[in-house]
Amino acid sequence: MEHLMAVILAAGEGKRMKSAKSKVVHEICGKALIEWVARSVLKAGIEDRVFVVGHKAEQVKECLGENIQYALQEVQLGTGHAVMQAERFLRGKEGQVVILCGDMPLIRPETIMKAVRLHRQSGNSATVITADLDNPAGYGRIVRDERGNVLKIVEHKDTNEEERNIREVNSGIYCFNIMDLLHSLKELGNSNSQGEYYLTDIMEIFVKKGLKVDAFKVEDSSEILGINDRVQLAEAAQVLRKRILEEHMRSGVTLVDPGSTYIDGDVEIGMDTVIYPGTILEGKTKIGENCILGPNSRLVDCVIGNDTEVANSVVIQSSVGSGTHIGPFAYIRPESSIGNKVKIGDFVEIKKSRIGDKTKISHLTYVGDAEVGKNVNLGCGVVVVNYDGRNKYKTVVEDNAFVGCNVNLISPVTVRSNAYIAAGSTIVGEVPENSLAIARSKQEIKEGWVIKKGLRRKE
């Protein structure tokens, strides 16, 4: 089978973004623009990929990683010039190369596959992906002859009045026969308004040589949306978010209000889960079946079991078991592990701690750097005092322990299994198994003290 590869152009400066970052590393739905393009190419079955980098190249490389083929375009002299920088990766290969822009995150893998299939079946030397736009301003126009054959692509700035009325536009995505492309790159010139080497001029060169040039027109014009500024970034995010939400709904997830729900591209959600308005699911979050999330919850890089509810809460880089209830207004910080059938109630904060099955931490409690066992009760206002101003220490509360309200556990400290701690205690030493710890002063009453001090309140 013929070799198939891709060259992804990511060297442009992107001045209209008005940013210190490379345009292609700006994110939508949890991934950089260039990552969405790379992902579509990979899903289309193209593993041999070359990324042409230039402006802010180090940022693009940091985004994509080191185990990637890179070509450097030190000076940006147009798309044709960018492809020239990747020539060494093309030489000696028989087959096709798909060329894409790194700022087109909406292109679908299926579209790439269909274009390559058409290219091969039709015996084309070049195939360009196109779309019809009601407002084609800014896009290169597809110029055809009277029989509908593609003659050339004319950049918008170089169009005449007749060409400006053409609605079929160039997406900037092409499939070329590698050998034909290599031979014709040498003939590219820069006699245009920009003084650049346009890859689009290859089409006219091919036609003059008698090579077959064709177009694959997409029905959904949003696929060819390129990102040049923050407005287009937001437009692309809206389109992509809609796709993601629809995919989850078709997979059995209920979204009470899709318009106020935000889900990143790598999030997995089990069927019969219900997501209420204002919920944000980010990163590689994985949600089980029959869960209830929200309203107004945020989960980042989390794993959530089945039948779990997270209400008005934040969970970050942590795991939560099945049948557990989180919130409202709870905060689960990174590196925490919450077991099955646990109750984490209102205004509870868990930081880098492990909470065992069936434990209840119902309200107004802070647990940091701790290991809490199974079936433990932490009363209202319990504080794990894990920081001495310089170092952080660990607290252990073993299975079946009961910690009363307003207790301070001064780390490092251990509360053994089945121990009880009286409300209002400050615990600084180990509490043995099956014992009761009381660490508070004896109540003292001074009769008439208010009158003697003249502090009696008047209405």
* Predicted confidence (pLDDT) per residue in 80-99, tens digit: 999 999 999 999 999 999 99
Q: Within a 10 A sphere around the Cβ of 31, how many other Cβ atoms? A: 18
Residue 423 burial class via C-beta count within 10 angstroms: exposed 0-12, middle 13-18, buried 19 and up: middle
Strand partners, 54: 56
Is residue 414 in some structural domain? yes
- Same domain? For 252 and 389 the reply is yes
Is residue 19 in some structural domain? yes
- Same domain? For 219 and 253 the reply is no
Closest by Cα among 327, 323, 328, 329 to 342 = 323
Residue 104 burial class via C-beta count within 10 angstroms: exposed 0-12, middle 13-18, buried 19 and up: buried
Catalytic residue status for 363:
yes
Q: Supply the angle between the helices 33-43 and 109-122 in degrees, to the nearest 10.
A: 50
Is residue 155 in some structural domain? yes
Residue-wise burial string across 169-190, b where 16 or more C-beta atoms lie within 10 A, e elsewhere: bbbbbbbbbbebbbebbeebee
- Same domain? For 213 and 290 the reply is no
Is residue 458 in some structural domain? no
Q: Which residues of the chain have pLDDT under 50?
A: none
280-328: pLDDT as tens digits: 999 999 999 999 999 999 999 999 999 999 999 999 999 999 999 999 9
Among residues 81, 119, 248, 363, which one is catalytic?
363
The CATH number assigned to the domain holding 381 equals 2.160.10.10
Radius of gyration of the chain (CA): 31
Q: Select from 209, 224, 239 the last residue of a domain.
A: 224
pLDDT of residue 1: 63
Is residue 239 in some structural domain? no
Q: Select from 189, 224, 259 the last residue of a domain.
A: 224
SS3 track for 256-317:
CCHHHCEECCCCEECCCCEECCCCEEECCCEECCCCEECCCCEEECCEECCCCEECCCEEEC
- Same domain? For 280 and 381 the reply is yes
Q: Amino acid letter at 4?
A: L
Contact 334, 318 (CB under 8 A): yes
Task: Please give the tally of structural domains in the chain.
Answer: 2
- Same domain? For 215 and 318 the reply is no
Is residue 217 in some structural domain? yes
Tokens of 200: 């689009």
- Same domain? For 218 and 139 the reply is yes
- Same domain? For 305 and 386 the reply is yes
- Same domain? For 180 and 44 the reply is yes
Q: Which domain holds residue 421?
A: 248-437
pLDDT of residue 350: 98
- Same domain? For 173 and 29 the reply is yes
Is residue 450 in some structural domain? no
Q: For the whole model, what pTM was predicted?
A: 0.91
- Same domain? For 168 and 301 the reply is no
Is residue 111 in some structural domain? yes
The CATH number assigned to the domain holding 102 equals 3.90.550.10
- Same domain? For 192 and 295 the reply is no
- Same domain? For 176 and 309 the reply is no
pLDDT of residue 169: 96
How far is it, in rounded angstroms, from Cα 21 to Cα 25?
Answer: 7
DSSP 8-class letter at 157: G
